[in-house]
């Protein structure tokens, strides 16, 4: 098939869930021998230089990245709030240069599938529809409105709460409109698929989880710190920041009192300055690390204390691939086919999370069993090649249906 994959950022380096999800899809399409054209926004937040990209990108049928600044600007955001009903969260991703390149690409090739990664690129949906007969499919990494709805529920500042609720309403309206205009929707989790079906019972849905290449996830036990706790995730993503704040204020004091020599490591890109200034005993803030796999291999127990968010936490799948003992909230592990107390440990309240960690720390054999089962689950459910093959089979069915309709 000839596929055009559109991304709201260049999917490299693979240091966070979004980049991993998009890059592994690129690898899957390419490894299966499909003719892949990749067109990306190159945001200032995740800006890359083409010469720094691996050979994978040069082997594509086409790869282009268009520079754009998507940072939130206070004045435009305020004016949007007062005078527009459109989502500023989405409109930040509009670029005339990207639109022109998109039109040029669509007119130059007869695509079978336009594969859109994430809601933000759907701001170009009308342009895509006008310039191609290809099936248009949206891979929804999250329910965008739900992320902000959950953040709004936890917000105590009334002004911020009002703004977040306004954002929720506009995002929901945009998602509803978008779902009605695409040919197929590809949520990453069944949990998100259920909500999408409630929003629009007519849309064709195929659940497309993110997979991993397990050859890249070698388990190294020799240098593992026991019992070292860690959290790894993008620290410019509000749900991660909110979860870390909650863990440090409500859970860590209990953990530290019980295990005064225990260390808790926090790592992730764009770490806020307040975390670096933190004076909590036993907490080490590392910022962005060079190699996530090496870092995870060096620690024992992964903490995912999310109180909001949507989609799938790819870092949990990576932790499972490396046989980590993972302690998470229900929201943190949402969308993963886990069994509590068998391949992951789920705890939603501060005291429950403390006792879960205590059980792991005091029971190394129990922790090792959880990690071993986690690796087995990840290999069974989240093999990238297998998942992309299933998606391609779905795409071929969509095109077969279109051919039979035309005939």
pLDDT 10s digits, 26-64: 999 999 999 999 999 999 989 999 889 999 999 999 999
How many Å apart are CA 383 and CA 31, to the nearest integer? 14
What CATH number labels 2-211+384-406? 3.40.50.2000
Answer yes or no: same fold for 2-211+384-406 and 215-381: yes
Question: Residue holding tokens 């397990």?
Answer: 214
**No. of helices (H) and no. of strands (E), the chain:** 17, 12
CB under 8 Å to 130, separation ≥6 — which residues? Answer: none
Residue 247: count other Cβ atoms within 10 Å of its Cβ: 24
Closest to 314 in 3D by CA, of 67, 19, 5, 10:
19
Instruction: Give the span between the Cα atoms of 383 and 376, in whole angstroms.
Output: 11
Q: What is the structure's pLDDT at 142?
A: 84
Facing residues of 135 across strands? 113
d(CA 131, CA 93): 20
pLDDT tens digit at each of 407 positions of the chain: 999 999 999 999 998 889 999 999 999 999 999 999 999 999 998 999 988 999 999 999 999 999 999 987 877 766 666 667 777 778 899 999 999 999 999 999 999 999 999 999 999 999 999 999 999 999 999 877 777 787 788 788 888 888 778 887 888 888 999 999 999 999 999 989 998 999 999 999 999 999 999 999 999 877 789 999 999 999 988 899 999 999 999 999 999 999 999 999 999 988 999 999 998 999 999 999 999 999 999 999 999 999 988 789 999 999 999 999 999 999 999 989 999 999 999 999 999 999 999 999 999 999 999 999 999 999 999 999 999 999 999 999 997 765 444 43
**Per-residue confidence (pLDDT) for residue 406, from 0 to 100:** 41
- To which residue do tokens 């240098």 refer? 223
What gap in Å lies between CA 63 and CA 37, rounded to an integer?
Answer: 6
Residue 222's pLDDT is: 76
Domain map (residue ranges) of the chain: 2-211+384-406, 215-381
pLDDT of residue 360: 97
Q: What are the structure tokens assigned to 253, written together? A: 């004091």
First-to-last C-alpha distance (Å) of the chain: 20
Nearest-angstrom CA–CA distance, 109 and 23 = 22
Entry pTM: 0.88
> What single-letter DSSP state applies at residue 353?
H
147 close to 308: Cβ distance less than 8 angstroms: yes
CATH fold group of domain 215-381:
Rossmann fold (3.40.50)
The rounded distance, in Å, linking the Cα atoms of 28 and 391 is 10
Q: What is the pLDDT of residue 402?
A: 55
Distances (CA, A) of 229 to 261, 326, 368: 12, 10, 14
Query: What pLDDT does 407 receive?
Result: 34
């Amino acid at each position: 098939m000839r596929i055009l994959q559109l991304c709201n950022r260049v999917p490299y380096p693979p240091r966070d869930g979004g980049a991993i999800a998009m890059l592994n899809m690129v690898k899957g399409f390419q490894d299966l021998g499909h003719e892949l054209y990749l067109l990306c926004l190159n945001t200032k937040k995740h800006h890359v230089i083409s010469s720094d990209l691996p050979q994978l990108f040069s082997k594509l049928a086409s790869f282009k990245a268009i520079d754009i600044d998507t940072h939130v600007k206070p004045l435009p955001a305020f004016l949007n709030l007062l005078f527009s009903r459109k989502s500023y969260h989405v409109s930040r991703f509009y670029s005339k240069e990207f639109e022109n390149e998109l039109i040029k690409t669509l007119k130059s090739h007869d695509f079978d599938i336009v594969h859109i990664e994430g809601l933000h690129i759907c701001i170009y949906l009308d342009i895509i529809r006008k310039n191609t007969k290809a099936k248009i499919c949206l891979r929804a990494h999250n329910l965008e409105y739900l992320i902000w709805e959950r953040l709004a529920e936890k917000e105590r500042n009334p002004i911020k709460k009002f703004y977040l609720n306004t954002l929720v309403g506009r995002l929901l309206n945009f998602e509803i409109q978008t779902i009605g205009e695409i040919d197929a929707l590809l949520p990453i989790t069944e949990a998100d698929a259920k909500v999408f079906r409630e929003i629009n019972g007519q849309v064709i849905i195929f659940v497309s989880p993110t997979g991993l290449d397990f050859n890249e996830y070698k388990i190294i036990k020799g240098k593992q710190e026991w019992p070292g706790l860690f959290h790894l995730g993008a620290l410019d993503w509000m749900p991660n920041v909110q979860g870390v704040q909650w863990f440090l204020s409500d859970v860590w004091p209990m953990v530290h009192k019980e295990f005064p020599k225990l260390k808790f490591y926090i790592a992730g890109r764009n770490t806020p300055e307040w975390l670096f200034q933190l004076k909590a005993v036993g907490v080490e803030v590392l910022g962005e690390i060079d190699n996530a796999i090496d870092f995870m291999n060096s620690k024992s127990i992964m903490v995912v204390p999310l109180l909001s968010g949507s989609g799938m936490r790819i870092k949990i799948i990576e932790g499972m691939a490396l046989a980590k003992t993972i302690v998470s909230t229900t929201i943190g592990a949402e969308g993963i086919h886990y069994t509590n107390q068998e391949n992951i440990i789920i705890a939603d309240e501060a005291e429950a999370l403390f006792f879960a960690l205590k059980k792991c720390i005091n029971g190394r054999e129990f922790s090792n069993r959880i990690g071993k089962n986690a690796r087995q689950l990840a290999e069974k459910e989240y093999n990238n090649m297998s998942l992309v093959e299933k998606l391609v089979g779905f795409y071929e069915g969509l095109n077969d249906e279109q051919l039979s309709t035309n005939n």
